[in-house]
Structure 1
Amino acid sequence: MADKLKITLVKSPIGAIPKQKATVQALGLKKIRQSVELPNNGTTKGMIQRVNHLVKVEEI
């Protein structure tokens, strides 16, 4: 199991519901194709699951 996850925003959250927009912002993503590295834990996985149609996830 990887220690970190690389999360990339691949679709705009403009048409998403407000909770999904807030989740994308809480992940630290602001622009399309921007990537962040976050720890691989339950909190991060839960946030990714909420916006899985907007992001791409890779294990590092």
Structure 2
Amino acid sequence: MKLYRFLSADDTSEFCHKVTAALNAGWELYGDPTYAFDGANGVMRCGQAVVKEKAGDYAPGMKLGEQ
């Protein structure tokens, strides 16, 4: 099965650590990162899609971050 996650966070080192942790857990970058102003909170936000191939069947209840 192919799994998909969209990681997002404020534009701080937390976002880079989140993406780095996913890459080290076997996820691969999917597409370009995004960067946008969050007017409601007054901060810049970053986003990055990641995908991972894994044996087994997809179930809507699975916790993707634990795969």
Q: TM-score range by the shorter chain?
A: 0.3 to 0.5
Higher relative contact order (CA 8 A, sep 6+): 1
TM-score of the two chains, using structure 1 as the length reference: 0.34
When Rg is computed on C-alpha atoms for both structures, the one with the higher figure is: 2
- TM-score normalised to structure 2 length: 0.32
- Which has the larger strand fraction? 2
